[in-house]
Amino acid sequence: MAIITLTTDLGSKDFYQAALKGSILSILPTATIVDVTHEVPSFNISHAAFVLKNVYPYFPKGTVHLIGIDSVFSQHTKYIALKHKDHFFVGADNGVFSLLFEEKPEEIVELNIMQDLKYLHFPLVDIFVKAATQLAKGAKLKDIGVATDGVEERMLLAPVIERDIIRGSVIYIDTFSNVITNITKELFTKIQRNRDFTLYFRKSETISQLSWHYNEVPEGEKLCLFGISNHLEIAINKGKASGLLGLHLNDIVRVEFHP
């Protein structure tokens, strides 16, 4: 079964998304196409990486993940394909892969597929589709590119640890307006050491207890928990935390652990 997932900033208003899918089906009519999202903010590779990082492990091994973010032609950007944990990824080497993986991918190639000049401004429907469909049909990476060592590096803002304090920031706000921070469960547990804590945000707002699920507090009450992404999340049960609590991307949050 050939599965190709799509993560792009193409949106749903224009014809670009349909053109991409049509290009895939023209080459591989039996492909199963799965939309991860087409609503990534334009050119926002960190947003795309966070979404796909939390999605791809749920797909079967051998799935091909096509990333269409900031992929227009540039003399300084390579088009690459790689293999990581038995999944394949195709996209522009613009830093997204360094944000997507914590370890170095098993194999990386720079694509050597000939560019069709009439699609120079839209390589998604040309080079990327050709690479993704070939991989979905069982081709090896070496069949579509030349081995290369690494990927373009980008850095995300990391939490700051000060003795018994973690200072983090908001990195993602989902459709339900839940606020996701860059504080991972692993880091929280390591610094907490079974101690009580207080989570501070927006000056006077605090939360002092972790919840297991959203309905653990009454409707309209705020809570924090580690969601499916394993990042510390601020939410309101059946409410919109981002708007009601005034939390936005890059806002600072602080966790203090008590003796």
pLDDT of residue 85: 96
pLDDT of residue 42: 93
Cα separation of 259 and 257, whole Å? 7
Could you give the C-alpha distances from 249 to 123, 191, 242, in angstroms and in order? 30, 24, 9
pLDDT of residue 123: 85
Q: Where are the beta strands (DSSP E) in 134-251?
A: 145-147, 160-162, 165-173, 179-184, 197-201, 205-207, 210-211, 222-226, 231-236
DSSP per position, 9-22:
S--SSSSHHHHHHH
Angle at 143 between CA 98 and CA 10, to 5 degrees: 50
Q: Which residues of the chain have pLDDT under 70?
A: 73, 120
Which run of H or E residues covers position 88? strand 87-92
Q: Are 7 and 48 in contact (CB under 8 A)?
A: yes
Please state the domain extents for the chain.
3-147, 160-257
Cα separation of 122 and 128, whole Å? 10
Domain 160-257, CATH among 2.40.30.90, 2.60.120.560, 1.20.1270.360, 3.40.50.300: 2.40.30.90
For domain 3-147, the CATH architecture is: 3-Layer(aba) Sandwich (3.40)
Q: What is the pTM of this model?
A: 0.90
pLDDT of residue 161: 95
